[in-house]
Every structure is written in structure tokens, then in C-alpha cells.
Amino acid sequence: MTEAYNPKVVEKAAQSFWDEKDSFAAKESKKPKYYCLSMFPYPSGKLHMGHVRNYTIGDVISRFKRMQGFNVLQPMGWDSFGLPAENAAIENDVSPKEWTIQNIDAMRGQLKSLGFSYDWNREFATSSPDYYKWEQSFFNKLFDQGLIYKKESEVNWDPVDETVLANEQVIDGKGWRSGATIEKKKIDQYFIKITDYADKLLENIQELDGWPNQVKLMQENWIGKSKGLEFNFQIKDHNDALRVFTTRPDTIFGATYCAVAMDHPLAISLIESNPKIHDFIKNNKNITTSEAAIATQEKLGMDTGLKAIHPFTREDIPIWIANFILMDYGTGAVMCVPGHDQRDWEFAKKYSISIKQVIESDQDNGVSDGALEDKGILINSKQFNGLDFDDAFDSITKELVKTNDAEVKTNFRLRDWGISRQRYWGCPIPIIHCDDCGPVKVPETDLPVELPEIDNISSKGLNLSTFSDWMAVKCPKCSKDATRETDTFDTFFESSWYFARFAGISDKEMISKEASNWLPVDQYVGGIEHAILHLLYARFFNILMHENKLIHNEEPFTKLLTQGMVLADAFYVLDEAGNKTWLNKDSLDDKNGELLDNSGNKVFKDGMSKMSKSKLNGVDPKEMIDKYGADTVRLYMMFTSPPEQTLEWSENAIEGSYRFIKRFWTLVEGRSNNIEEPSAFNKDEETLRRKSHQTLKKVLKDYEERNSFNTVIAAVMELINAIPESFKIEDASESQKYCLNEAIEFSLKILSPIAPHVTLELWSKFNSSKDKSLFETSWPEFKENLILDDNFELIIQVNGKVRGKEKIEKTLTEEQIKSIALSNENVSKHIQLDNIKKVIYVKEKLINFVI
């Protein structure tokens, strides 16, 4: 009688075994290296299913590569600075440091419970002075190189969280975390000159062959390199000119108005003299300047009353102030061509401005229903009629250079990276301000500049300017009284180089020489929501580290896998005003097929949406592990959908994964691979061996080339289903047992990266030699001669309709195949030999009898 599968016992034993042997420590080796990294988490204290999916994918890849003979580095650490920890500390009346340490301890245990093969010897938290010391040191290098500067700039200010937000953190004019209405505010900020590297970042994208095209395109668009023309529109009755930038000079004859940003000098000059303009700018200045938001928000404007003189037609065209023009792109002023730019078209329609068509293209449907944005042939453009885009660009540029101070310019949408934040829980910027010497970097011998210790945080939070004793310091240059910088780094600063620190941890330097053995990261795993900021900043930092001879590689990540989100059903009730209140699935009652809440109110199903705290549709990984075991959770996560696609959570489906593991356990437990290979096999045995080796060949491709773990699992299920029952019984022949054992061995090794605990336990009993644990064994090799099938499946048709199928030996003649097809029981019901008019045979595929 076989022992019952008990995941708690099996998983505890496996994890203890790995810990005792320090099984996953990355050490110096002659084996080829493989560095697999999943984006490290913010230590919230609790794993969610998105974490589980992300880290299971990385672990499956790592374990597979170990079995292939690679020396694998798979580390784990904590992105532990930032506003979330500070806000949580306020809510729980503790210090952010204490809160973070507690959460790291909790999450480490949760990660270990899933059996992830991390090298915990390399673990670090970015909030540790041992880590951010080197970040401050690197900042000093960049400061010396002139790549860091400070200037007053207009920022998105969250008055509740009391910090600056990036444009991407402002949603519908509200702070992404606090929900507060965002204000525009001018403050001094530190910036790093990422724009100096815009061309390099753009050029290198072409080398990222292992990245998804979607992510590369997102980065290209974010950098936003564009060649265009900068020139003047003379302002009527003024000595001044309005300088504009356009990427489409070919459309200049379609310009029917100009528009400037709300903070353009022209707009600002009109505020005092024009109350309407004053009110318009005041009412709209706090609207986010994120391009994504601008693309969808209502287009609003105010006519300045000023007229621009068209450089070719000499017509007067109005100058507007518009909320969709960005001051920090181009000149902050544009010529607007509503016939050939959709944004301009929407604005023109709203304010009854004329629309002209000056381009003809293959997709030409006119401009009455929308802008025609394709490039094409010029029309209604006087002497330039008939020119295509390139010729028109050159010809119009030559004319404008003569009269309108035109010059061809290359612009980028990318802006320098603002790295200052005004909160306590972050890495202090290592600058000292002296009245005589100005900003002075903290000497290397005084690093790290550590945060002042606190017991808790008030409800409003705090920043470093509240610590007067900490701020007071002597100037390193002149020794006079000075003050410390009170801003902290944007947390993207920490996550932009952590991958290199994992590869070369040292007490004596930022990145040790060991890093050259591991970098670049061979496989990076994380969500596509990080496609722009984190991944772009990490690439930028990597270039800087390369220039400073800290690492040898210019790009950080060879391959990138962006996993899909985990979705689950969400439920809500409506109040009288139609507002939604989200409900946890477990709080619902099913009364005769109708869902009700505890008060008897009708519950509505929102469908599948991203698991989130706000919608109360998250599933606690711990509950699932306690109920089914870590291997079932891992198997389910990998089986339900390909990694790049969304995963729809279903407890019925996870039950199916649990049943499969129990069935597999029953098949393997109590068996031993102690059968010698026989000299001959019968037909059924050869069929199973062929299936085993075909499966091995297929899953190798799925693992290596496609990361298609769902089809790996499906292939093993198919192999197990193909095992004849007669091979499993006690008195099966030696050759049958050998074929069964071969199928089991392959299945154990194939599933080992996905379900490592149960396969380790089963292997320890199944492996008669006992010389190696499963994770130390090598990946099995398929035999090509066993994969080739001597048979094929013949499809038999009568007048084109399938009437039967037969297994046919490849050595048979066409006449022999015809005879077998005609003797098929079902085929004989639909055919008489003397009615056959024609026989069509497609070799090794089908035969069709026409009657």
C-alpha cells in the first residue's frame, strides 16, 4: 500500500534538505554562468498572487538551467525605501525602519514556503546603510562629472503626502496613493542628466533582441526622438515673434492657429492685463502634465486675441493658450494643423476654428470626420504642391531659413530625471550646503550619511528638515557651520543598480570584481508596468556604471520576460447614489442562484479584474499553500496560462492541479528504477518509449525557447495518460517496468523545476542508485532514433467527409493502404466497391474515395 501524499510533510522535508546543504548558493565554478533575476519586491509584509506568479516563473527557469549544467545565480532582496513604508509606519505608530524589518522577516518566510531556490547569502535591503553607502558614493562621482545639478522646477506636489510626484503618479489630477488634489509648485530639485544619454539609450534598444517588442517600442516612444523644424511666426502689431517647433513642416499650409503652453512666457505676459486668461491659467495649472493624461483629457483653450502672421500665405491666424501643449517639449509653442493632427482637430472643432486639408494620401477620406495624419503628397500648398514628405521638408525648410530664422532641430520627449524627494524614509542625498562654498559633497570617509533614528512618525509624516541636530554640520571645505541636504533620493535610484550589487557584494567597494563573472543578467522577470521608468533608469545607470569601469557590460538585461497580471472575479453592491462598494467573495450568500450580501442587497459581478486591495478580490497565497501545498500553487500558476498572458484565478482549477499531483504521487510512490534495459521491446513498449522521448524533445524546446511552461505540464500529463494500465501492475514484465520507469524518470525531471518538493521526495525513493538528489541530476537526453515513428495515422474520407482513421505502417504500398482503408468498418458502411469513381491518396496523410 502506497503512502498518502501529504504536502506539508513533503515540503518541510525538502526545504530543510536544501537549507542544510545551502543548495542554491552561487559559487565560483567552471560551469557556464546563468543569472536569473525577478524584480525584487517592496516589503509590504504579505505576498500576493502577482508576487507568486512572478517569482515562480523565475524559479522554474533557474531550476531548469541548473539541471542543464549551468552555474546559476538567483538572488533575492528588498526594495525597502519609499513612501508606502512611511505611510504604513504612520498608521501603525512605529518607525519605518522597524516596520520594514518586521515585513522583511515575514515575507522571507513566505518566499521560503514556496521553495524558491534563492541564494539567501546575497540578500540585502536597499534601506540598509551597507547598501546606500555605495549609492551615495556613486552620486558623488556623478556630481564631480557634472551629471548632477539642482534647479528650481515646477513639480506635482501632493499636499497630503507632502512630496513630489512624477507625472505618471498623478491620475486624473489626484495623487496615486493619497487621492489628494495635486498642486503645481516650484521647488529646488536635484536632477541627473539622462538626456545626455538619450541617443545612446535609443541606439542600444536595437541590441535588445531578447526583449519583447512592445517594451522596446514603449521605451522608444518615451525617449521620443524627433527631427523637426524650429522657426518664427511674426506676431501682428508686435516686434516679437512666436518661435514654434514642428515635426511636420510639410503641413504648414494647413496651419490655422498657433497654441502655447500655459506657462509659456507669452501666456504669462498676458495674465495681468487679461482677467480671462488669468482665470483660465489659474483654473487649469494643476492639471497633470503627463502625456498619457493629456492624450485623453478634454482639450481646453483661451484665445489670446493676438494674431500670428502665416509665413507663406501672410494670413492672420489666432494664437491660443492650450492645456495640451507642454512647455518642456520643443519651444512650448506649436503651429496647429487640425486637418492633419487629431489633437488639433478636436480643439478646432470645439472652438470653431477653420480646418484645411493640405495632404493627400492612400487613406484619404477627407478631414471632415477627423484628421488625416498619414504622410502623403502636398495639395493646396502653392509652389510645393505635388511634393512628398521628404522633398517638402527640405524645400519648405530652405524657404523658411531665408526669412524666418528656421533651423532643423532634433528634440527628445525624454526629460532629465528629478531624483529629489521630500520625505524621511529614503536615502539621504550626500550634499552639505555652505554659505561660502555652496553645495559640497560629503567626503567618502564620512559615508554613509545615515538617517536620524526615530521611534515613530506623526500623522503628517516628516522630512529631514525637522532634525535640526542632524542637519547641523561643518563644511568639509572651509570648516564653517553648514547644513545637510534634507531631500532623499527617488526610490528608483536604489532599484536602478541593485542587480549589479547582487552579482558582486563587497564591504569594500560598490561592486566587486566577482560581478564580471555574472553580469549581464541573462533573464529578467517582471511586470510590463515597469517597461518605462524602472527599466529605462536601470539601463541608464548601467551605462554610467560601465563608463565608471565598475562593470564590463553596457546593457543590464539580456532577456526580459514580462508576466501577465493575475485576475479574479470582483463583486460589488450599489448604494442609492449608484456608488460601488466592493465586497469579498467569502462574504456573499447564494440564494437560489442570486448573490446577496449580508444585508440581503443584490450583489453584482464585475467580472475578472486585477487582484487588488481596493476591489477585495485578492487571494491569500498562504491560505492556498496551507490547503493544497506550495507545489500545487506553483503548478497551477504555470499551467493555467502562458507567462506573458493574464492568469484568471479559479479555485476549481487549482483543485485540478492538486488532483494531478496526487495522481502522479500514486503512480510513482513505491517504485524503483532498478530494472536493466532489456535487449528487445514489443510494439506497445516501443510506443511508450517513443512517447517518452518525444515528450522530452518537445518540453526542451518549450523550456529553452518559449518559456511555455503550461505546455510542458500538458505534455507530461499526456505522457502519463499514455502509460498502459498493464505496465503498472505488480506482475508486469521486466521490459514493461523498464518502459514505465523511463516515463516516470523523464516526468520527474521535467516537472522538477515546477514542482520541486514532491519530485525531490519521489526521486529520493525512486532513484535506486541514491547517488544524487534530484536538483543535482542533469537534464536527460532524448534519443532521436526512438522519436521517429514507423507508423502514421491515415485519415479516410468518402467524398471529402472523414469516415475513419487507421494506424498505417510507413513501409506499406499504396494498394495495401487502400485495402486497409476499405476494410475499415465505418468506411464500408458508406461505400460500395463498384461505385468508386476515383481514389485520391496524399502520402502518409489521407485517402479520399470519390463515389
Tell whether 53 and 168 lie within a shared domain.
no
pLDDT at 667 over 70: yes
Of 391, 411, 431, which residue is a domain's last?
411
Mean pLDDT on 223-228: 94
- Give the three-class secondary structure for 307: strand
Tell whether 533 and 589 lie within a shared domain.
no
Mean pLDDT on 411-415: 92
Asked, for residue 616, whether it belongs to a domain, the answer is no
What residues contact 551, with CB distance under 8 A and at least 6 apart?
Answer: 500, 511, 515, 516, 519, 542, 545
Tell whether 779 and 795 lie within a shared domain.
no
Q: In what order do the strands lie in the sheet with 521-527?
A: 71-73, 33-38, 521-527, 557-563
Of 504, 539, 563, which residue is a domain's last?
563
Residue 655 burial (10 A CB sphere; 0-12, 13-18, 19+): middle
Residue 62 belongs to what H/E stretch? helix 49-67
pLDDT at 567 over 50: yes
- How distant, in Å, are the alpha carbons of 118, 425, 505, 769 from that of 131? 19, 15, 9, 46
Rounded (to 5) percent helix, strand, coil in the chain: 40, 20, 40
Tally of domains within the chain: 6
Task: Say what the pLDDT of residue 430 is.
Answer: 99
**How far is 131 from 499, CA to CA, in rounded Å?**
12
Asked, for residue 454, whether it belongs to a domain, the answer is yes
When computed from its CA atoms, the radius of gyration of the chain, rounded to whole angstroms, is 34
**How far is 596 from 588, CA to CA, in rounded Å?**
6
Task: Say what the pLDDT of residue 487 is.
Answer: 95
Crossing angle, helix 709-721 and helix 630-639, to 10 degrees? 110
Provide the pLDDT confidence category of residue 1 given band limits of 50, 70 and 90.
Answer: very low
Residues 334 and 246: beta-carbon distance below 8 Å = yes
Supply the CATH number for residue 381's domain: 3.90.740.10
> Which letter, b or e, does each residue of 621-651 get, where b requires 16 or more Cβ atoms within 10 Å of its Cβ?
beebbeebbbbbbbbbbbbbbbbeeebbbee
Task: Say what the pLDDT of residue 343 is.
Answer: 94
Asked, for residue 384, whether it belongs to a domain, the answer is yes
pLDDT at 302 over 80: yes
pLDDT at 288 over 70: no
Tell whether 112 and 146 lie within a shared domain.
no
Task: Give residue-wise pLDDT tens across range 437-493.
Answer: 999 999 999 999 999 999 877 655 578 998 999 999 999 999 999 999 999 999 999
Tell whether 524 and 581 lie within a shared domain.
no
Supply the CATH number for residue 841's domain: 3.10.20.590
Task: Give residue-wise pLDDT tens across range 13-54.
Answer: 999 999 999 999 999 999 999 999 999 999 988 899 999 999
Task: Give residue-wise pLDDT tens across range 188-210.
Answer: 999 999 999 999 999 999 999 99
Of 411, 433, 452, which residue is a domain's last?
411
DSSP H stretches of helix in 114-271: 129-144, 198-205, 213-223, 265-269
- Which residues are annotated as part of the binding site for ATP? 613
- How distant, in Å, are the alpha carbons of 583, 716, 758, 766 from that of 669? 43, 17, 10, 7
Asked, for residue 781, whether it belongs to a domain, the answer is yes
Tell whether 296 and 384 lie within a shared domain.
yes
Asked, for residue 209, whether it belongs to a domain, the answer is no
Asked, for residue 102, whether it belongs to a domain, the answer is yes
Tell whether 805 and 688 lie within a shared domain.
no
Tell whether 172 and 85 lie within a shared domain.
no
Tell whether 169 and 262 lie within a shared domain.
no
pLDDT at 296 over 90: no
**How far is 110 from 459, CA to CA, in rounded Å?**
30
Mean pLDDT, rounded, of the chain? 93
Task: Say what the pLDDT of residue 733 is.
Answer: 95
Supply the CATH number for residue 575's domain: 2.20.28.290
Beta bridge partners of 691: none
Q: Which three cell numbers stand for residue 293?
A: 493624461
- How distant, in Å, are the alpha carbons of 52, 115, 145, 413 from that of 19? 20, 10, 45, 49
**How far is 842 from 851, CA to CA, in rounded Å?**
18
C-alpha closest to that of 111 among 34, 6, 38: 38
Q: Which domain holds residue 321?
A: 226-411
Tell whether 556 and 572 lie within a shared domain.
no
Q: In what order do the strands lie in the sheet with 148-158?
A: 163-165, 148-158, 183-192, 417-418
Q: Which three cell numbers stand for residue 174?
A: 489626484
Q: Which three cell numbers stand for residue 258?
A: 498657433
> Which letter, b or e, does each residue of 143-158 get, where b requires 16 or more Cβ atoms within 10 Å of its Cβ?
beeebbeeeebebbbb
**How far is 695 from 715, CA to CA, in rounded Å?**
6
pLDDT at 104 over 90: yes
pLDDT at 156 over 90: no
Tell whether 770 and 826 lie within a shared domain.
no
Task: Give residue-wise pLDDT tens across range 585-624.
Answer: 888 888 877 888 888 889 898 888 888 877 888 889 999 9
Task: Give residue-wise pLDDT tens across range 706-732.
Answer: 999 999 999 999 999 999 999 999 999
Q: Can you say whether the dihedral through the CA atoms of 320, 326, 332, 334 is positive or negative?
A: negative
Tell whether 593 and 558 lie within a shared domain.
no
Asked, for residue 469, whether it belongs to a domain, the answer is no
Asked, for residue 318, whether it belongs to a domain, the answer is yes
Task: Give residue-wise pLDDT tens across range 534-552.
Answer: 999 999 999 999 999 999 9
Residue owning grid cell 545551502: 22
Task: Say what the pLDDT of residue 168 is.
Answer: 61
